[in-house]
Chains A and B, each alone.
Chain A
Amino acid sequence: MAWIETVVNGLLLGGLYGLIGIGLALVFGVMRVVDGAQGEFMVMAAFFAVIVLAAAPDLHPLIIFGLAILFSFCVGYVYQSWIVNRSMQSSDPLAPLLLTFGVSIILRSVMVEVFGADLRGLQLGSLSRASIAIFNINIGVMPLLTLATSIALFLLLQWMLKRTSFGRIIRATADRRDIVRLFGVKPDRVYACVMAMSVALSAIAGLFLAARASFTPFSGVERLLIAFEVVVLGGIGSFWGPLIGGLALGVTQLVGLKWDPNAGLLYCHLLFFIMILIRPSGLVASRS
């Protein structure tokens, strides 16, 4: 029974991991750019929430989350239109990668400067500790909420990309960024919107992470590492890949920890390493 509980908790954690990867996957899928700053954006959203919470302790957590997501959405739009679009004009695919990693280092340093290197946490009161029992398994309300949010966001994004006219424009731009211009579409603006969505999604992941465990300005690095592993493990270019990859990592981490309490993320990294060796295309085979 204890093992089942571990697996269930692993799946719940995996939902969060999937959410960590989705922003990175979206940007890569549409622009073929690996965004090295996604980890910092997750941390930044959490700091934003901590500040708002300190300034207005009576605000409902949902409103604070909403503000942080809106803030991240705007940050993503500006980040893409002012910085990343510029580097995408270069014919060297390495240029945006280097640039975004540069941005991540600057953001990290600025956050240390402004907030200090202390551990912070996002206290959501009783919600953080609440749990319910299903079939004798104790399940935290917060992790359950996280997984539900994650799946809902995946579905929402899928619907937006497949069923709306804006989603159609995004897919067309991903296919041929020059030809869409013949139909009046400005690729730079599409990219800015996609980056805004991506940073907003990462912000949601960052907020859930911050509610779960404390963080510092340096936490972005490990978050980005998880995002990478989730995306590659799931299968680059596949839509549901990050969620599947996240679930696999979550279960691996908790089962590993139960078996070997000192392991930390070791088994996750091992799983990732082995998968790269035997199935580099990822768990979900890519269609494109």
Chain B
Amino acid sequence: MTLLEVSGLNVFHGDLQAIFDLDLRVGEGEVVALVGANGAGKTTMMRALVGLIASKQGRIRFDGAEISAASAEDIARAGLCMVPEGRMLFDSLTVLENLMMGQVLRRRGYWTLERVFELFPILAERRSAMPRHLSGGQQQMVAIGRALICNPRLLLCDEISLGLAPLMVEQIYAAFAQIGKQGTALVLVEQDVKRASAAADRLYCLLKGRISLETAAGAVRVEDLTRAYFGA
């Protein structure tokens, strides 16, 4: 079953076009990696999907409904959620309050505060701390937990590992295995190809706003990927 189907998507930043004629598909419960160099348009693409960028053309179908003209609020309500690049925590809210923002959507399901605290025990310990007093990895856990409590059908994770210590990245990717078990589909946006393809079922590579490669994650050939990533 296809959960997300994007066809012929064009996204604009003012007069500049950032995404060209893009097709992309994510199945129910599937883990998809979206890799690409800096400036390839990955973040723009994610922000367009969740409705934060309105200037776009093309079709986006999510869970059977057309959402290309829907507001970010309605898209979230439908269960398409995002862990934004740079974590984007609410700085004047405590860890607990940040997580509770995920409850505002009232999408019930497996993920609750308790389950998130089980997944990331350190957050339970630091629930009253302000985000700026956390390490980068802990902040990322808050951002992931906050999105999980929305109980998304599909979770877009934008540059989760950026700027984190390798050990921390290990821990966070271990959590993704558990998240996937609940049937949540995932899109992992990464610059780190190895990391992303190890966790994913399928892989897309984005180059200058276009899909340059689509393949099963296990069957990636290095020379193909190098060409798709850097351009020839």
Contacts and interface: CB of A to CB of B under 8 A. Distances in A.
Contact of B97 (A168, A181, A186): A168
A111 interface: no
B209 interface: no
A183 B50 CA distance: 11
A184 B84 contact: no
A184 B76 contact: yes
Contact of A172 (B51, B52, B101): B101
A47 B84 CA distance: 49
Given A183-B101, A184-B104, A175 B91 contact: yes
Q: Which of A169, A182, A185 has the most CB of B within 10 A?
A: A182
A174 interface: yes
A248 B146 CA distance: 42
A165 B146 CA distance: 15
A184 B97 CA distance: 16
Contacts of A176: 88, 90
Interface residues of A, number: 18
Contacts of B73: 181, 184-186
B101 A180 contact: yes
A111 B199 CA distance: 67
Contacts of B104: 165, 169, 183-185
B51 A168 contact: no
Contacts of B81: 182
Contacts of B77: 184
Interface residues of B, number: 25
A189 B72 CA distance: 14
A183 B105 contact: yes
B134 to A, nearest CB: 15
Contact of A171 (B50, B71, B90, B102): B90
A164 to B, nearest CB: 11
Nearest to A287: B92
A168 to B, nearest CB: 5
Contacts of A168: 93, 97, 100-101
A176 B102 CA distance: 14
B174 to A, nearest CB: 25
Contact of A175 (B52, B92, B150): B92
Q: Which of A168, A180, A181, A184 has the most CB of B within 10 A?
A: A184
Contacts of B84: 179, 182
A174 B97 CA distance: 14
B60 interface: no
Given A165-B100, A168-B93, A184-B76, A179 B105 contact: no
B48 to A, nearest CB: 13
A25 to B, nearest CB: 15
Interface string A13-52: 0000000000000000000000000000000000000000
Nearest to A173: B90
13 contacts: A165-B100, A168-B93, A169-B104, A175-B93, A178-B72, A181-B71, A182-B50, A182-B72, A182-B81, A183-B101, A183-B146, A186-B71, A288-B91
Given A172-B93, A181-B51, A186-B71, 10 more contacts: A172-B101, A178-B52, A179-B84, A180-B101, A181-B71, A182-B50, A183-B150, A185-B104, A186-B73, A288-B91
Among all A-B residue pairs, the 9 with the closest Cβ atoms: A181-B72, A172-B90, A175-B90, A184-B105, A179-B88, A183-B104, A184-B73, A183-B101, A171-B92
